[in-house]
């Protein structure tokens, strides 16, 4: 009696010929927006993205009545040796046999399948390559050849590849004959994927297991479902608090929050833009709209709104902040547009004072990030704004502006230039912090520590890529000092002390976002969450306070903001992914999705976390260019003598490139 159970079977006949859904712009929108391309992908997902790509990664073709899934990329040094991947199945599969028919259209490089796939950077691979059958273990940057054997094959034949996984033993066969065996115990479970560095065709994918393994899988799933249901019962679930119509002034994640009228009423300011010269390197704000979060009423608008997506969506920061720069109790808007830095009255949007942006007087061929080695404009097109305190005043009132990647300028609130800094890369959003306790901010920018008077103090021994996000604080109880946690693209995740020593480092993919909070209350200190984007996108890691990995996962989606959420008010934070009903929600410190959003038609493109109802717990704001939905908890906070009011990143220094944090702080009710 055949006791084989089919877990998956796909001959791609459900697919029309043509490309799988893909980002035609190959843009950075997915760094902090949930963006899914329209079209049919079946049970498959593509975890690989690259700005150097053009066209689709995978296409479906038909020949002689058969459908084939084709990988059509060519290995390219600009893609950092990333392997195109198409994944499917369930991450809890353990012992199974994967069978697929494959034709390698180029035999000089690796083509085959991945098994026990956990992420696109953590899995096993069975490849045919240059006359060999090979078994690899891939663990982040490390590729280990577990076994190989000679195997002659050609580019014209459709071969049947199979991998049988049993515990740590793997038998890899071609056309029913074992060709290579390997043993390894790093990955006990994982789904499957098609993978090839050069063009290849696939069809007739089947995953089977035996009755005993299937029974164990069902039992394990039942236990996991019961455990998750019990967890979810302990958490408040989202309740719709408010819907706001964004009319024709909506935008993507270009939003700021503040008290524009000097009262307790909270407003948001949303910006549209126009792109200039090259991609999104020289965006100019075209419309600002201030809206009450309480009533949805427009307070004021500056500029002309647009309903074009090209003016609503952008992958860069836009240079504007809300802050009481003059200390009069009413927030101002600090904004750069049309080659001016302006301070606007928060109540009316009227210009109070302004200055021209500085001249581009540096040789364009000597600084980073200048396309075509030419300044596009005589004056600076500002990339981002941050409020800092390098002057040592009682409260921050200095204004830092920057270009895309090379230069920083700092002015006081009267627009007097305090200093300018140029050295290698600025990264996206520098961090200002008083490291030496003298009452003045130092600035950590990319890999550079800059003194309060604009001098280079030290730099990390890294010369490539740049830092995307930064968090600074005391998150390791064994270190009585401030530490710097950063993600720096392919230079990885790092913990650095304030003397510039790298205390921990993990090259875990293209590090894109980072957050620090009390995600695991049973562990000492705070935990650090990171996620990836370029090349191997959407991988989430959680680390302990010393930078040791606790777990990893690939939820098959982009746009995970991984912001800490004070959802319960009990001192334990959750991790916000995105607003999608199926793939978004909030994770606990064990990686379980304990809070999900209702299927009520809400937008899921953008997400932000902030306290709006006054009970110190966070609300979740979800929006796109048309609507904004705000969610609060469906039950009251359990009252106690003390209220959890954590320290979070201040609203007046908002950025799509800011690392998020939540540092414990309790106060009496």
What CATH number does residue 166 fall under? 2.60.120.560
If DSSP codes are grouped into helix, strand and coil, which group holds residue 228?
helix
Q: Judge if 454 and 468 occupy the same domain.
A: no
The verdict on 452 and 469 lying in the same domain is no
Contacts of 204 (CB under 8 A, 6+ apart): 11, 99, 100, 101
DSSP letters spanning 287-320: EEEEEETTT--EEEEEE-----HHHH--SS--SE
Give domain status of residue 240, yes or no: no
User: Is the alpha carbon torsion for 429, 434, 435, 440 positive or negative?
Assistant: positive
Residue 17 and residue 40: Cα distance in Å, rounded?
A: 11
Give the chain's domain count: 4
Q: Is 229 exposed, middle or buried (0-12, 13-18, 19+ CB in 10 A)?
A: exposed
Rounded Cα–Cα distance for residues 534 and 26 (Å): 10
Separation of first and last alpha carbons in the chain: 68
Model confidence pLDDT, tens digit, residues 162-191: 999 999 999 999 999 999 999 999 999 999
In a domain, 369, yes or no: no
- Whether residue 526 is found in the same domain as residue 590: yes
In a domain, 372, yes or no: no
Q: Does residue 453 sit in the same domain as residue 472? A: no
Cα 148 vs. chain centroid, distance in angstroms?
36
Quote the tokens at residue 348: 């009316």
Alpha carbon distance 250, 313 (integer Å): 9
In a domain, 377, yes or no: no
CA 430/CA 470 separation, integer angstroms? 8
Residue 21 domain flag: yes
Name 200's Cβ contacts closer than 8 Å, sequence gap at least 6: 70, 71, 102, 103, 104, 105, 106, 111, 194
Full strand arrangement of the beta sheet holding 332-337: 320-323, 332-337, 340-345, 351-356
**Reported confidence tier of residue 288, pLDDT bands at 50, 70, 90:** very high
The model's confidence at residue 448, banded by pLDDT at 50, 70 and 90, is very high
What is the span of the domain harbouring residue 330?
A: 248-363
In a domain, 370, yes or no: no
3-state SS, 398-449, equals: EEEEECCCCEEEEECCCCCEEEEEECCCCCCCCEEECCCCCCCCEEEECCEE
**pLDDT of 652 above 50:** yes
Whole-number pLDDT of residue 2:
63
Q: For the domain that residue 430 is a member of, what is the CATH number?
A: 2.40.10
Q: Is 453 in contact with 434 (CB distance < 8 Å)? A: no
- Is there a domain that residue 126 lies in? yes
Q: Phi/psi zone of residue 121: left (φ > 0), alpha (ψ -120 to 50 degrees), beta?
A: alpha
Is residue 141 within a helix (H) or strand (E), and if so which, with residue range? none
- Residue 573 backbone phi and psi in degrees, to 5: -95, 150
- Same domain for 603 and 481, yes or no, is yes
Q: Which of 55-59, 97-101, 365-369 has the lowest mean pLDDT?
A: 365-369
Model pLDDT, residue 133: 98
Q: Is the pLDDT score of 1 beyond 70?
A: no
**Residues 157 and 287 occupy one common structural domain:** no
Please indicate, yes or no, if residue 375 is contained in any of the structural domains: no
- Token couple for 63: 């020949």
Mean pLDDT score across all residues of the chain: 96
272 pLDDT higher than 80: yes
Quick one: 107 and 42 in the same domain?
Answer: yes
pLDDT of residue 446: 95
Question: Of 401, 424, 459, which marks where a domain is finished?
Answer: 459
Model's pTM, two decimal places?
0.96
Structure-model confidence comparison of residues 75 and 289, the more confident one:
289
Q: CA dist 537 to 49, 69, 258, 658, Å?
A: 7, 21, 33, 19
Query: Is the pLDDT confidence value at 66 over 80?
Result: yes
Phi, psi of 47 (to 5 degrees): -90, 10
Helices (H) and strands (E) in the chain, counts: 2, 53
Take residue 436 and report the two structure tokens written for it: 């030496």
Among 130-139, 408-417, 580-589, 640-649, the range scoring the smallest mean pLDDT is 640-649
Are 354 and 428 contained in the same domain?
no
Short-list 494, 492, 517, CA closest to 484: 494
Show which of 233, 268, 296 is a domain's final residue.
233
> Quick one: tokens of 81?
């040796």
Contact, 207 vs 97, CB < 8 A? yes
Region for residue 465 given its phi and psi (left: phi exceeds 0; alpha: psi -120 to 50; beta: otherwise): left
Give whole-number Cα distances, 186 to 124, 136, 138, 190, 273, in Å: 9, 12, 10, 11, 48
Final residue in a domain of this structure, among 444, 459, 474: 459
Considering the chain, what percentage of its residues have pLDDT values greater than 70? Answer: 100
Asked whether residue 177 falls in the same domain as residue 262, the answer is no
Alpha carbon 261 to its chain centroid, in Å, reads: 33
CA separation for the pair 510, 491 (Å, rounded)? 7
- Whether residues 450 and 468 share a domain: the answer is no
Considering the domain architecture, whether residues 23 and 133 belong to the same structural domain is answered as: yes
User: What is the chain's length?
Assistant: 669
Summarize pLDDT for 504-563 with one digit per residue, the tens.
Answer: 999 999 999 999 999 999 999 999 999 999 999 999 999 999 999 999 999 999 999 999
Judgement on whether residues 392 and 491 belong to the same structural domain of the protein = no
Closest among 241, 235, 244, 243 to 596, alpha carbons compared: 235
């Amino acid at each position: 009696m055949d006791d084989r159970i089919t877990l998956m079977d796909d001959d791609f006949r459900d697919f029309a010929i043509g490309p799988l859904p893909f980002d035609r712009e190959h843009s950075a929108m997915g760094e902090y927006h949930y963006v899914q391309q329209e079209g049919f992908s079946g049970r498959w997902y593509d975890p690989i993205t690259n700005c150097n790509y053009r066209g689709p990664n995978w296409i479906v073709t038909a020949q002689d009545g058969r459908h084939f899934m084709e990988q059509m990329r060519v290995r390219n040094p600009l893609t950092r040796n990333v392997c195109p991947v198409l994944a499917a199945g369930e991450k809890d599969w353990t012992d199974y046999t994967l069978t697929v028919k494959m034709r390698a259209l180029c035999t000089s490089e690796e083509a085959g399948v991945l098994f026990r796939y956990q992420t696109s950077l953590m899995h096993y691979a069975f490849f045919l390559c240059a006359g060999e059958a090979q078994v690899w273990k891939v663990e982040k940057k490390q590729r280990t050849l577990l076994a190989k054997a000679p195997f002659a094959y050609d580019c014209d034949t459709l071969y049947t590849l199979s991998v049988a996984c049993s515990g740590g033993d793997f038998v890899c066969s071609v056309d029913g004959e074992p060709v290579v065996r390997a043993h390894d115990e790093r990955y006990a479970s994982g789904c499957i994927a098609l993978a090839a560095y050069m063009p290849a065709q696939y069809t007739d994918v089947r995953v089977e297991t035996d009755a005993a393994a299937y029974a164990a899988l069902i039992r394990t799933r039942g236990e996991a479902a019961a455990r998750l249901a019990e967890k979810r019962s302990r958490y408040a679930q989202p309740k719709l608090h408010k819907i706001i119509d964004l009319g024709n002034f909506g935008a993507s994640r270009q939003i700021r929050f503040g008290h524009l009228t000097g009262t307790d009423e909270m407003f948001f300011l949303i910006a549209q833009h126009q792109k200039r010269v090259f991609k999104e390197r020289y965006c100019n704000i075209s419309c600002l709209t201030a809206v009450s979060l309480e009533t949805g009423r427009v307070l004021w608008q500056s500029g002309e709104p647009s309903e074009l997506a090209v003016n609503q969506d952008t992958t860069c920061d836009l240079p504007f902040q809300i802050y009481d720069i003059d200390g009069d109790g009413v927030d101002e808007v600090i904004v750069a547009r049309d080659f001016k830095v302006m301070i606007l009255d928060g109540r009316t949007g009227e210009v109070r004072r302004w200055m021209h942006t500085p001249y581009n007087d540096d040789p364009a061929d000597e600084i980073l990030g200048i396309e075509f080695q030419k300044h596009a404009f005589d004056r600076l097109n500002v990339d981002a704004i941050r409020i800092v305190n390098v002057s040592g005043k009682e409260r921050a009132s200095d204004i830092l502006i920057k270009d895309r990647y090379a230069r920083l300028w700092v002015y006081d609130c009267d627009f007097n230039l305090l200093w300018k800094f140029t050295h290698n890369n600025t990264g996206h959003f520098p961090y200002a912090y008083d490291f030496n306790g003298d009452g003045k901010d130092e600035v950590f920018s990319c890999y550079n520590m800059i003194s309060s008077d604009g001098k280079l103090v030290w730099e990390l021994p890294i010369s490539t890529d740049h830092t995307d996000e930064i968090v600074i604080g005391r998150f390791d109880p064994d270190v009585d000092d401030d530490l710097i946690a950063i993600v720096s693209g392919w230079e990885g995740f790092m913990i650095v002390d304030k003397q510039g020593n790298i205390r921990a480092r993990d090259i875990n993919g293209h590090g894109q976002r980072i957050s620090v909070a009390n995600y695991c209350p049973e562990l000492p200190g705070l935990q650090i969450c990171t996620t990836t984007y370029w090349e191997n996108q959407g991988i989430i890691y959680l680390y302990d306070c010393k930078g040791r990995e606790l777990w990893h996962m690939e939820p098959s989606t982009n746009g995970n903001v991984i912001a800490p959420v004070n959802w319960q008010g009990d001192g334990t934070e959750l991790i916000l992914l995105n607003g999608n009903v199926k793939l978004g929600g909030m994770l606990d410190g064990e990686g379980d999705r304990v809070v999900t959003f209702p299927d009520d038609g809400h937008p899921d493109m953008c997400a932000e976390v902030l306290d709006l109802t006054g009970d110190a717990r966070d609300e979740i704001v979800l929006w796109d260019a048309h609507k904004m939905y705000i969610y609060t908890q469906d039950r009251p906070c359990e009252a106690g003598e003390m209220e959890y009011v954590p320290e979070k990143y201040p609203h007046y220094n908002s950025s799509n490139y800011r690392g998020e944090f939540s540092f414990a702080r309790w106060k009496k009710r």
